[in-house]
A and B are shown apart, each in its own frame.
Chain A
Amino acid sequence: SAVISQKPSRDICQRGTSLTIQCQVDSQVTMMFWYRQQPGQSLTLIATANQGSEATYESGFVIDKFPISRPNLTFSTLTVSNMSPEDSSIYLCSVVVSGTGLYGYTFGSGTRLTVV
């Protein structure tokens, strides 16, 4: 299994500022993803974090707003840039360990962001 540590667990930020969220995994994983969960809603995929290359973004998400880094197989960051109140959400890191089963797709506990 993989243990995911996300930091910070929560934050309250001023509009116009940026926040970088860290995702640290205790083992090397091939696939890492970032999701957003807006209040009262389901999870929406932001991007796939690719090791050593630019992230692959989903429709509606752009690199200028959500820059992602993945310098190695155990670590990734997501930055929420120039924040507005609409960015208030839970941001979740997910990794794939074995592909299926209990240790297939694993999620961190999330970063709860409030923009004021």
Chain B
Amino acid sequence: GESVGLHLPTLSVQEGDNSIINCAYSNSASDYFIWYKQESGKGPQFIIDIRSNMDKRQGQRVTVLLNKTVKHLSLQIAATQPGDSAVYFCAETPNSGNTPLVFGKGTRLSVIA
């Protein structure tokens, strides 16, 4: 399939370890943030989201942290599995549902079995 993220920063982690992927955003007016996972040959898939009135949100094996002071977002994946290997993007928008998403640069996660 089409290669995605060949030139993106790469994070390599051992299977079973925790992964932390970071993202800096620039728009202080952003109100809504999403993490997406993109596998080769596919469109972005929703992982987890968070609103600006929260600083932490947990899902199944994933946690998103938001630091509005420094405009920083992180995605934590617990017990990383080979199936987690993909490119991860953060995205933001100032008015969820009414304005388009702006995407961050992306990080390629490579899980070593």
Contacts from A to B (Cβ < 8 Å) = 4, 10, 31, 33, 35, 37, 39-45, 48, 90, 92, 94, 96, 98-102, 104-110, 112
Q: Are A40 and B7 in contact (CB under 8 A)?
A: yes
Q: Are A100 and B97 in contact (CB under 8 A)?
A: yes
In the complex, which residue of chain A has the Cβ closest to the Cβ of B50? A100
Of residues 1 to 29 in B, which have CB atoms within 8 Å of A's CB atoms?
Answer: 2-8
Asked, given contacts A31-B97, A40-B8, whether A109 binds B104 with beta carbons under 8 Å apart, the answer is no
Asked, given contacts A42-B103, A42-B105, whether A112 binds B2 with beta carbons under 8 Å apart, the answer is yes
How far is it, in angstroms, between the C-alpha of A104 and the C-alpha of B44 when the chains are bound?
13
Return the CB mask of B30-41 against A: 1 if under 8 Å, else 0.
001010100001
B contacts with A: majority SS: loop
How far is it, in angstroms, between the C-alpha of A4 and the C-alpha of B43 when the chains are bound?
11
How far is it, in angstroms, between the C-alpha of A92 and the C-alpha of B43 when the chains are bound?
7
Nearest-Cβ distance from residue A99 to partner chain B, whole angstroms: 3
